Structures are given as structure tokens and as C-alpha cells.
Structure 1
């Protein structure tokens, strides 16, 4: 934006942070709006049982995708030189390919056993696609970090629309072509992800050139950022086990149909989370990565207050209206999803508040604190779901309040880490002279 344009533009557009948030928010809003528009149609073409099986497949893919690059994809943000970041991107892609190849072999061999565990053999043939689905998601993540580094937020926003909308449109088309059920959901998701990956790969084509300008070998860069797989890697793996383990636990303890109800509730509730938190998280990480000592606590505190304020109204609406609106909008078969959504509100509201500041631990290189917290955060819901008996809505309400409390502790821990980081700037007091 040139000086003349800046002088005539609104004040908020002259603030880089707000402008970047707005750019991502537009893309995220369009993606979520398209998904919301098609969900009432898809919910009538696919049954809760279909979505339950799809949730099992997606849970395996999501768990593998977040660790496929051993978290070296996040390290793309950190080098001073772009050439070094490009070398890291190539290294991340090689790791992704290796993990996906292993996943294809393992899931293919274990397919009958996995399908038997969830009580539906029709899932088994599709588990051979686990590696391909994982590759597209993991590569999208790595390319997004490169575009984030270059502040290409418009490209990130457009890609979100393509990935979310492309998946929904493909699933709709397959259902109308009489290829619904688990077939339509999995193939549709894979088509949407592939289209998004190819588009993002074109937008980030710069990352594949100029690697020879780096004076640092891939081995040295991997060693320099070894804290990513050693500390941050276990963090995201534990988080993935928590989120996806909950799906699998519900499918085993309750039923595939109730898992589908939970999946739909969780999916719909991602709309306010995606609208508000998706944009903030990307931009906060970029800002935090260049935040100087002395300003970290102030920045983290501002993040918490801003996210809390933005989320109050949407989540109050969800709490009071979801039991009524789910069956009206999605169809009568989704009544349980409305009550599940209501039960999840305390947990997801706190998640909205704390998600952006999780990168504080990465920037301050204190991922070990986050790992300890993540272990408790993953163990509590899985243990509660396993031991609690009776109605799923009542049990999920207990889980949600327990998780909200744990996230309050997480926010306090992030502020404490930020304070310690800032204090390292302060010079030691001089010894008094005689």
C-alpha cells in the first residue's frame, strides 16, 4: 500500500496486524459460509452412521498429518534467510512422503482389524487411501507456513475457501450421483484437499527455487530446529491423540451413529471458531515470532482479552439456540447433535481464547511446559469418556467443564512463560559501590 493510499484509507487498514486479520477473516468467512450453506443438504444425504465412519477415517488422517513433517513445517517461519526456509520446506516434504508411505502400508495391512474395532467392515477398503489423504493435508500445512512467512494472507484465505468448499461440493456431487455413504464422504474430501494443495503449490512456487542460495545444509537446519520434533512434535501428537482419540472412544463406547452426531456438532461449532480464531492464530504466530523481549506478556494478554471479547456473543447464541436449531436446519435425525453442541460450549469457548497464545511456547522455546499440560489435557477427556456411564450428553457436559478449567490453567501458564521471557531482557542490578 503506497503512501497516498495509506493517507486516504481507514485507520484500521493502515495497521498491518488488523489488515492481515481482516484478509484471513474474509477468506475464512467465505469458506465457512459455503460449508454452512451446504451442510443442511449434506446432512440429509448422508446419515449419522456415514459421518461416524468418516470421522474414524478423518481422525487417523488428522493425527498423521500433524506429525508427518515432525513439525519442521512450523520451523519454516523461523530462519532469518528465505533460502534457509526453502531448504526446510524441502526437508519437510521429504519427511511427509516417508511418513505417508509407511502409513499406507501399515493401514492397508491393519485395515480389517481397524474396521472390526469400530464395528463396520465397509470402512476397511478405504483405509488404503490414508497415506494419500495425509500427504495432501500435511503439504497444505507446510505451504501455508511458507505463505504466512511471506505475509501472503490473501492466498491463504482463498485456499481455505477452495479446500472447504471444494470438499463440500464434491461430497454433494457424489451423493447426487448415487455414490454417497462412506464412499462419497472420503472421495469428496480427498478431491477437495487435492484441489487446494495443487492451487497452494502454484501460489507458493517460489519456495521451490533458489535453494542453492542457502549456505546451510538441510542436516544443519534440522539440527538447529531439533526442538520442533523433540518438544513441539510430542505436543501436537498428544493434542491429535486427544481430539481424534475422543472420536474413536465415542465410536467404541457408544456407537457409530452417536459418533456421527458428535462429529456434526463439532463440525458446526468450528464455524465461530474458524471465523474468529483461524485468522487470529495465523497472524499472532507471525507477530509473536518477531516480538522482542519485553513485549511478550503484553502481546499475550492482549490476545487473551481480544479473543474472549470476540467469542462471548457467538457462544451464548450457540448455547441457547443449538438444541432447537440443529434438527430444524439439519433434519430431524440430528436432534442429539444440538444437545451435544450445547454441552461443548464451555470447552470450545476457552479453546477459542487459548488457541492463539499456544504459539507463545514455541517462540519462547518452552514447549516442555506445553507438553506437560497437553498430556493432562489429552488424558482427562479420554479417561472420563471411558469411565463415565449413561447418557452421552451428560457425560460430554462433564468433560467440557473439566476441559475449560484445564484451559484456564493453560492461559495462566502462557502468561507466566511470557513474563519470564520478558524479564530475561532486564539487566542485572549493579553491585553497590563502597
Structure 2
């Protein structure tokens, strides 16, 4: 990357990779935003709220299906080893998903909730797809195949949107939303698999050596990812408990139209940052500074426009019945701004083999968020004020996260 701080972010190899990878993320989210006014007329707030909870549960389950060992794909010495790891993780995810479905089905039957088995099977199927997709992404990131991942994101979004509209017009509710999510995941998976499925077989025999080598991923990255996903889903869970599914649906729409696109672009920047920091000789601390500066510029523009335009845009696009979602989107700006700037840099902790710091951070931010909602619930605050306490407190704590990352980068550069 060039020496200029902002120039290094927007130009050069890093900038080209970011444009390639973020293109699909941006295009897919434009589709999601465009389709949202249609979805809110086809589905109820309760449908969107329950859908968000089920998808959140599937994402949580997916963490356990690979134990975050996909991190070893990026850190492996050669492509043959990386392909073997990916092949083994495919098998692990499928086997774990089947076992989890059977166990949960038996528990549901024993508890007298046999009608929930089909929903559990759908959630576990989605979890397997999510886990396999993550493995395929890392395999592509290792080889800087950002264009392929970008196209897969767009394919996934387009497929989901088509199914959502078709199922909604046919009169389906939550099941229509889940079917769209499953179809999108399958399309993305099939889009990536033919070009980049591992050529070398890496069956279950690879797993013992892989678990020894990647024990930090199992011991720290797996619980860290679990806590992270819990933290992301915390606002939905808290609103569901305090204000019911209708308000949860408004918050889910705010996340869908604002937080999710921002998070996906931030994740795209993080993927590119991780790939370049792990595979290049340039000082990692320098990359941290350059990437931070670039993300601050992007965030200032994007979230500034959001804060000013959210209410009138939501009023026109979604209708006055959804203005609560616009208010929630504006309130979330401090949290989203800080998360957008800092979270993409988290790969430093993996590269520096300091996954324990990532786990510590995720526990801290989950505790801060939970305390904020507990505080608001205890004082019987209305939804807007409770969400404001959460957004401001979590946003400020991201300064601690950035300090952890930068100091780890400096330590890694010095050979410690």
C-alpha cells in the first residue's frame, strides 16, 4: 500500500481488492433496501421479528459446526494444506448439523413440542449452509479471489429476494422468509463450489492434527464468535422481551436497512484487510492506521447522511407506520459508526495469535450491552431511550477494542 494514509486505503492493491469485494456487498444490500418496501407490505412486523430471531439462532449454531477452524485456512503454509482443511471442515459441518438436528428433535419431542421439529430442521439446515459458506469464503480470500465472493453475495441476495416476493404473494408468512433465506444460501454455496471446492481430499483423518494446530481457534475464537453473535442479536432479544414482536419487527427493519448493509461493507473491508495483513510483509500496524482512517471517512459520510435523511426516507419508502424503525436507525448511529470503523481490524488478533483478547473483548461488549438494556428495563424506559443507552455505551467502548488491536499489531511487527 502507498505511504499516504488515506491513499493507502482507497488505492493500490488494498483499494482494488476492497472495491472488488465490497461491490457485491453493496449491490446485494441495494437489492435488500429496494425490496424492503415490498416485504413490509407482504409480511407483518411479527413475521420479520420471528424471522430475525430464527436467523440469529442459525448463525449461532453455525459457529459450533466448524469450531472456527476455518481460520487455519488463511494461516496454512500452502494451498494444498488449505484445501485439505476446507474439505475436512465441509464434512465436519454436515455431520455436526445432522447430529444437532437429531438431538434437538429428541429434546423437542420429550418436552412435548413435536410441532417445532420442522422449524428446528430448517434452522439447522441454514446453520450448515452458513458454516460451509464461511469456509468457502476464507478459501477464496486466501487466494485474493474477491470478485468470486462478490458475485456470490449478489447471487444470494437476488435469489432470496425473488423467493421472498413469490412466497409473500402466495400468502406465506415466516416460512416464506425462511425459504428465501435458505434458497439464497444454497445459490451462493453452489455458485462458489464448482470453481473452488478443494481438489485434495481432507476427510475426518485430518481433524486430529488440525485441532492440535488450531487449538486457539477452538478455545478462544469459537466462544468469541458465539458471544459476538449473541451481542449482535441482543437488541432483538431485549426488545422482544420488553416490548413484544411488533417493536422487534421495527428494530429488525432498522437493522435490515441500515445496520446490516453497514456491517456487510465493514465485513468486506475486514476480509480484505485480513487477507492482506496475513499474506504480505508490510507492517500490520501501518495497515491498521491506514484502514482506520479510510473507514472513518466512509463512516462519516454514510452515517451523516443516514442521520439526516432517515425519517423522511422511511416515511416515503415504507410509510408512516414504520417511522419507529427510522427513529431506531438514527439512535443506532453511534454504535454502528464505532463498530464499522473498528470491527474490520479484528483479524489482527488472529494473525498475532491473540484470540484470547478477542474473546475478552466480545465478553466485555456483550456485558456492556446487556447492562444497558437491563438498566433501561429496570427504569421502564421507552424503546427509544433504552436503545439510546445501548448505542452510546457500546459505541464508546469500541475505543478499548481499537487499542487492543493496535497494540497487538505493534507487538506482532516487533516479533513479540
Tell me, yes or no, whether TM beats 0.5. yes
Q: CA deviation at 1:387?
A: 3.6
Number of equivalent positions: 405
Deviation at 1:160, TM superposition (A): 0.3
What corresponds to 1:3 in structure 2? Answer: none
* 1:170 maps to which of 155, 163, 173: 163
Contact conserved, 1:43 with 1:331, CA < 8 A, in 2? no
Distance 1:231 1:41, change over 3 A: same
From 13, 18, 27, the counterpart of 1:16: 13
Bigger mean CA deviation after superposition, 74-83 or 339-348: 74-83
SS of residue paired to 1:355: helix
Deviation of 1:125 (Å):
4.5
- Relative to structure 1, the CA distance from residue 109 to residue 220 in structure 2 (aligned partners, 3 Å threshold; closer, same or farther) is closer
1:131 has 2:124 as partner? yes
Call closer, same or farther: CA 1:13–1:314 in 2, change over 3 Å.
closer
Deviation at 1:245, TM superposition (A): 3.5
1:237 to 223, 226, 231: 226
**Cα separation, 1, equivalents of 2:349 and 2:33:** 33
Greater displacement, 136-145 / 16-25: 16-25
Task: Please tell me whether the aligned partners of residues 25 and 261 of structure 2 are also in contact (alpha carbons under 8 angstroms).
Answer: no
Could you tell me which of 379, 386, 405 is aligned with 2:367?
379
Q: 2:184 aligns with which of 192, 212, 223?
A: 192
- Residues 1:399 and 2:387 aligned together: no
Q: Who is 1:349 aligned against?
A: 337
Match of 1:430 in 2: none
Q: Give the aligned partner of residue 147 of structure 1.
A: 140
1:79 matched to 2:65? The reply is no
- The C-alpha deviation readout for 1:212-254, integer Å capped at 9, x for no partner, is 8x9x944223311221111211211110121123322321222
Q: Please give the alpha-carbon distance, in whole angstroms, between the structure 2 residues aligned to 1:112 and 1:125.
A: 12
Q: Given the alignment of the two structures, is residue 265 of structure 1 paired with residue 254 of structure 2, yes or no?
A: yes
1:334 is aligned to 322
Work out whether residues 12 and 19 of structure 1, in 8 Å CA contact, stay in contact via their aligned partners in 2: no
CA shift, 1:109, in A, is 4.5
Greater Cα shift, 122-131 or 143-152 = 122-131
TM-score by length of 2: 0.90
Q: Provide the C-alpha distance between the structure 2 equivalents of 1:184 and 1:163, rounded to a whole number of angstroms.
A: 16
Contact 2:9/2:294 (8 A) holds in 1: no
> SS at 2:66's partner residue?
coil
Structure 1 residues 362 and 157: CA distance shift in structure 2, 3 A:
same
Match of 1:101 in 2: 98
Counterpart residue number, 1:304: 292
Gaps of 5+ in 1: 1-10, 426-434
> Which is higher, the Rg of structure 1 or of structure 2?
1
Structure 1 SS opposite 2:279: coil
Give the 3 Å change call, closer, same or farther, for CA 239–196 of structure 1 in structure 2: same
How far apart, CA to CA, are the structure 1 residues paired with 2:108 and 2:381? 30
Q: Deviations over 1:17-60 (max 9, x none)?
A: 22211111222222112112211111111111110111111111
> What's the RMSD between the two structures over aligned residues?
2.6
**Change in CA separation of 1:106 and 1:268 when aligned onto 2, cut-off 3 Å:** farther
| Paired residues of 2:88 and 2:206 also in contact (CA < 8 A) | no
Is the 8 Å Cα contact of residues 272 and 314 (structure 1) preserved in structure 2? no
Change (3 A) 1:350 1:97: same
1:220 to 1:99, Cα distance in 2 relative to 1, 3 A: same
Match of 1:287 in 2: 276
2:78 and 2:47 mapped to 1: Cα distance?
47
Which residue is equivalent to 1:8? none
Measured in 2, the distance between the counterparts of 1:268 and 1:114 equals 37
Q: Which of 138-147 and 242-251 deviates more?
A: 242-251
1:297-329, Cα deviation, whole Å (9 max, x unpaired):
111111111111111011011112212322321
Deviations 1:247-300 (A, max 9, x none): 2232122201111111110111136515642331111010111244x7121111
State the partner residue of 1:418: 409
Distance in structure 2 (CA, Å) of the matches to 1:324 and 1:12? 33
Report the Cα offset of residue 358 of structure 1.
0.5
- CA distance 1:255–1:12, shift in 2 (3 Å): closer
Give the Å deviation of 1:95: 2.3
Give the superposition deviation at 1:68: 1.8
**Residue of structure 2 aligned with 1:323, choices 277, 293, 311:** 311
